[in-house]
Structure 1
Amino acid sequence: MTQSLEDYLEMVSFLADEGEVRVTDIAARLSVSKPSVLTALKVLEERGFLEHERYRGVTLTEKGVTQAAEIRERHTFLTQFLRDVLGVSPAVAEEDACKMEHILSEETLKKMKAMASSRKKN
């Protein structure tokens, strides 16, 4: 899945936590156009991650909930790692985590988690 599609899926998940998910809200939060959102939603729907009925909102499927949770977990861990382990400011940690969550390999992420875990024990 592309970084862009992951960002859309993650945003749908965040908005779902707050209530109804509307195209307008996704566009506003990601600073993109409504047509861009509609294009991305169509692709995500075709891949089975969500359901979108025009004028009715967006709903994550079970597959979408699972994928979004994985993306959000990576993002949360990376933000905390950058902030707590490396001492990066909260704003920069959030921005960098958003970029890193899409490109880090599972191997690197596991090593970072092991490092963070071993620091907590010391």
Structure 2
Amino acid sequence: MQIQESGEMYLETILILSKKINSVRSVDVAEYMGYTKPSVSRAISLLKSGNYVLMDKHGYLSLTEEGRQIAEKIYERHTLLTQFLMQLGVDRQTASTDACRMEHIISDASFEAIKAHALQENKKSTC
């Protein structure tokens, strides 16, 4: 099943929230993303049916292995692209907003090239 950009955003949000709080519920996702509870419930249902998210009997969410892999990939892209844009002189808010758009559409090859370049630049600046 091919996951849509919005699904990637939900997975990334669950990952981010799980790093901050022990137990993530749909209401936490809704609050973090600024979406309504019914919208989040529908999205979580789709992610559950795609085997990306699990929900226990108390309503707590967790990522499946596949869901975690996607979330971590998107989160890495967001983080690195934000930092990269900031190094180019873009302010933090704009860099984060643009990275959020870019993280979903950039090819693996282009991202890996940017990542390699950014890592090379970081090595130069620490030497």
- The answer, yes or no, to whether TM exceeds 0.5 is yes
- Structure 1 SS opposite 2:51: coil
Aligned-residue sequence identity (percent) comes to 39
Q: CA RMSD in A?
A: 1.5
Which consecutive residues of structure 1, in runs of 5 or more, have no partner in the other structure? none
Cα drift, residue 115 of structure 1 = 2.3
Query: 1:27: Cα distance to partner?
Result: 0.7
**TM-score normalised to structure 2 length:** 0.86
Of 46, 49, 65 in structure 2, the residue corresponding to residue 46 of structure 1 is: 49
2:31 aligned residue (18, 28, 31) = 28
Runs of 4+ in structure 1 deviating by more than 4 angstroms, as ranges, are: none
**Alpha-carbon separation, structure 1, partners of 2:122 and 2:63:** 35
Q: Distance in 2 between matches of 1:23 and 1:118?
A: 40
Q: Which residue of 1 aligns with 2:106?
A: 104
Could you tell me which of 66, 79, 99 is aligned with 2:69?
A: 66
| Unaligned stretches of 5+ residues in structure 2 | none
Are the aligned partners of 2:52 and 2:66 in contact in 1 as well (CA < 8 Å)? yes
Q: How many residues align?
A: 121
The alpha-carbon distance between structure 1 residues 73 and 16, as it changes in their structure 2 partners (threshold 3 A), is: same
Structure 2 counterpart of 1:116:
118
Q: Is the 8 A contact 2:24 2:60 kept in 1?
A: yes
Q: Deviations over 1:25-84 (max 9, x none)?
A: 111111111111111111111111111246421111122222211111111111111112
